[in-house]
Amino acid sequence: MSFKPRATLPDTAFTLPARYYTDQTLFERELDVFYRSLWVGVARLEDLPARGSWITRNVAGDNVLIVRQDGDAVRAFYNLCRHRGTQLCDADRGEFAGSIRCPYHAWTYDYDGRLVGAPHMDGSPGFNRDEFPLNSIRAAVWDGFVFVSLAADGPSLADQLGGIPDKFQSWRMGSLRRAHQIVYDVGANWKLIVQNYNECLHCPTLHPALNRLSHYLNGENEPFRENYMGGRMDLNEGAKTMSMDGTCSRAPLSGLSEEERRHVYYYSVFPNFMIAPHPDYVLTHTLWPLAPNRTRIVCDWFVDAAELAKPGFDFTDATAFWDMTNRQDWHVCELAQGGISSRGYRPGPYSNREDLLYAFDRYILDKLGESPDR
């Protein structure tokens, strides 16, 4: 094998100062600049199976209520009543029976968030129902993935996703269904998770099983884009997918080309959605920053609906493989968080194989309005 070298990074390509991983104020600014400004992945359309189905999600500290409308449409609202601020829904998911009713004083809204009932407010001469709709949040769906944006305006979801929908069109992801989910609570800054996801230089040391299926130098990165980054790894001769032994009992997804079946793709859509299309399944990691040093990670596996429905469908080869690999990654991310938090930490040099990480750091600084030299 011969491996394509990567472009040389500048001498100044060092990791970020510690404060970007430890400082509470910077963390809050990141929530504003990334998690409250960009589109964040929150769910799958299958989590909202019918009109009136709802879910709640905590997005950067705010509880968001997402309601399925007719067809594939969804709407999102801050999960609270306009009367005295009471949370309307007190669970992860449920089904409304025709309207949204506050459990405290029975103020009632339709699925578009319009106030349609407000007991005992008639006696208030200045009161006008139209002035108190639910507080709305933008929501949109791409191939079955539901995103919301807390920003009142700004780019559309399509703008943010850029070339990604086209690139993965063959996977027909809207028709896939969730086969498995694992939630991890990781003691590391969310950016360390993103960085870990976007380089495979650590694979031979940390992931011997993965490295047997795809040689760590045998891949290609796409140039860094405005709101995402990623690349592909090439499956070794004989490996069919990422699974415990590289074999695969499932058919490849039907729309894929011969070429697409030889790769595994890894893309991070900033800030919180990481997607890895495989020949026979799609893996996503959704990040929920809880503190400068803590991130909740929801890992989902999606497969062909027909495959999932087969009697005796067994997916443990893929879920066990990625659960093992995930845990190796989270552990080393926690070690990185621990070391970076130390007074002994100094920014260190990136190698040329960590090109995307260096670009990501510049992106973070740029969005935060921070000088790269500070």
Site residues, a copy of itself (CB under 8 A): 5-6, 8-9, 11, 13, 15, 18, 61-63, 77-88, 90, 103-106, 119-121, 123-127, 132, 135, 137, 150, 201-202, 204-206, 331-332, 335-336, 338-340, 342-346, 348-349, 351-353
Minimum distance from residue 31 beta carbon to a copy of itself (Å)? 11
Q: Please give the Cα distance from 18 to 343 (Å, whole number).
A: 9
Q: Please give the Cα distance from 245 to 10 (Å, whole number).
A: 39
Minimum distance from residue 147 beta carbon to a copy of itself (Å)? 18
Q: Which is nearer to a copy of itself, 2 or 342 (CB)?
A: 342
147 close to 156: Cβ distance less than 8 angstroms: no
Task: Name the H helices within the chain.
Answer: 19-22, 24-30, 157-161, 164-167, 190-197, 203-206, 208-213, 305-309, 316-340, 355-368
Q: Please give the Cα distance from 52 to 70 (Å, whole number).
A: 9
In this structure, the number of other CB atoms found within 10 A of the CB of residue 144 comes to 20
Q: Which is nearer to a copy of itself, 8 or 247 (CB)?
A: 8
Minimum distance from residue 238 beta carbon to a copy of itself (Å)? 26
234 close to 152: Cβ distance less than 8 angstroms: no
Angle between helices 190-197 and 316-340 (to 10 degrees): 130
Q: Which is nearer to a copy of itself, 100 or 256 (CB)?
A: 100
Minimum distance from residue 271 beta carbon to a copy of itself (Å)? 17
Minimum distance from residue 90 beta carbon to a copy of itself (Å)? 6
> Could you please report the per-residue DSSP string of 33-89?
IIITTS-EEEEEGGGS-STTEEEEEEETTEEEEEEE-STT-EEEEESS-TTT---S-
Q: Which is nearer to a copy of itself, 128 or 181 (CB)?
A: 128
Minimum distance from residue 287 beta carbon to a copy of itself (Å)? 19
280 close to 252: Cβ distance less than 8 angstroms: yes
Q: Please give the Cα distance from 92 to 209 (Å, whole number).
A: 36
Q: In the beta sheet, which residues pair with residue 56? A: 65
Minimum distance from residue 373 beta carbon to a copy of itself (Å)? 17
Q: Which is nearer to a copy of itself, 21 or 273 (CB)?
A: 21
Q: Which is nearer to a copy of itself, 5 or 238 (CB)?
A: 5
Q: Which is nearer to a copy of itself, 122 or 166 (CB)?
A: 122
Q: Which is nearer to a copy of itself, 61 or 372 (CB)?
A: 61
Is residue 146 exposed (0-12), middle (13-18) or buried (19+ Cβ within 10 Å)?
Answer: buried
Minimum distance from residue 350 beta carbon to a copy of itself (Å)? 8
